[in-house]
A = this chain, B = another copy of it.
Amino acid sequence: MTFSIAKSAKAARLASRTIATLDSQKKNQLLLEIAAQIERQSDTILLANSRDLQSAQQDQLDDSMQDRLKLTPQRLEQIADAVRQIVQQPDPVGAISDVQPRPSGIRVGKMRIPLGVIAMIYEARPNVTIDAAALCLKAGNAVILRGGKEAIHSNLALASCIHRALEKFNLDPAIVTVVPDTDRAVMNELMTLHQDIDLIIPRGGEGLIRFVTENSRIPVIQHFKGVCHLYVDAQADLNKALALLTNGKTQRTSVCNSLETLLVHQSVAQQFLPMAATMFAKKQVKVHACEKSIEYFPQALAATYADWHAEYLALEIAVRVVNDFNQAIEHIELYGSGHTEVIVTQDYSAANEFIRVVDSAVVMANASSRFSDGGELGLGAEIGISTSKLHAYGPMGAQSLTTEKFVVYGDGEIRQ
């Protein structure tokens, strides 16, 4: 195969100028055409997907991996609908904000512009091919998509939908590159191309993210894990606390914004822990409890150090009674992953102080951790959740795929 990632990245860099300066209407027409192509070519895509599924069975990939890989007519419809939702979102590019006159006479503002070229590195989910491409295009970026070998036929079929849409509008095909060669060497080379790629976003397991972070010469936006805490304060409304605990732990367990640790103020432990225990029993939630709380949970295991760091992603929770507000904060600082933390309290000062001092990406008072995603927070579709603070922190929508330049309006002013 003669595919060259270095050449592709250089072509993407050149093509990025075209998509960067396309107006909102043209970008939206392109996205609508991609959605239409997915529907039109659904048989071809499903056929390609069946080849991937066959290989997955032969290679005995586990069930959850096979499930992530599988496309159905309904799932394709959802993918096309997600693109149409991105069309509805506002275009982040081009807005000029905060223009201020300066003593020299010049006027200075900031204009939002695309980042340039974004590379996505992901595993077996073919929907990422379309989701990521659509969001990058909306924000005016060229994109390089490197999915896992398990999904390569599906990804190439989806790529062909994108390229037909680009072709229809006479746009450079290098605006979207789906890497056809899933060899690790290609990915390793991709991570060195810092002249032509501005940002890498890895999506997948912790192993993949760590590998990319440790080897990339290009800035990486990381999403490690979500060890989300619910802290039930001394002044909590315990019925609200129970509802938030139930929703956060049991509504959906395999997601990073589900709860993993419950912290309870000692003054309400005696009243609240039996309420929690009844719910856990009913919902079959396995409990890892601290010394002070274990008596409330008949079948609990003693919590170990590892439990405070655990992202169970299952019907399983760690429980700790804390002496006071400060010990709750300390626990979160020590063991949290910087994702999402919730305080339940009716105490005005405690709520404000929690929101002020906890420095996770999303900090909530009296709301379910499950709201911690781009859609629920009002960003529209999200491309990932950053748990590191540089550039973006928390759920990332189209705006996080842009930056701002300074714009200066003068009339011949010079510096004295």
A384-416: which residues lie under 8 A (CB-CB) from chain B?
388-391, 393-395, 403-415
Q: How far is the CA of A404 from the CA of B20 in the complex (A)?
A: 25
Alpha-carbon separation in the docked complex, A310 to B362 (Å): 45
A184 at interface (Cβ–Cβ under 8 A)?
Answer: no
How distant is the Cα of A356 from the Cα of B93 in the complex, in angstroms?
10
Interface residues on A, range: 35 or more
In the complex, the chain B residue whose C-beta lies closest to that of A403 is B389
Interface centre among A116, A244, A251, A413 (most CB of B within 10 A): A413
Complex Cα distance A228/B407, Å?
Answer: 15
Q: Does A214 contact B (CB under 8 A)?
A: yes
Give a binary string over A252-273; 1 marks a CB under 8 Å from any B CB, 0 the rest: 0000000000000000000000
10 A-B contacts, Cβ less than 8 Å apart?
A17-B357, A106-B367, A106-B376, A199-B390, A219-B388, A239-B412, A240-B411, A359-B405, A368-B414, A394-B406
Which residues of chain A have a CB within 8 Å of any CB of chain B?
A: 17, 20-21, 94, 100, 102, 104, 106, 108, 111, 113-116, 198-199, 214, 217, 219, 237, 239-240, 243-244, 246-247, 251, 333, 355-357, 359-368, 370-372, 376-378, 388-391, 393-395, 403-415
Given contacts A366-B410, A372-B406, A393-B403, 16 further A-B contacts (CB under 8 A): A17-B357, A102-B377, A106-B364, A106-B376, A114-B359, A115-B390, A198-B388, A243-B412, A355-B407, A360-B405, A362-B406, A365-B409, A366-B409, A390-B390, A390-B403, A393-B405
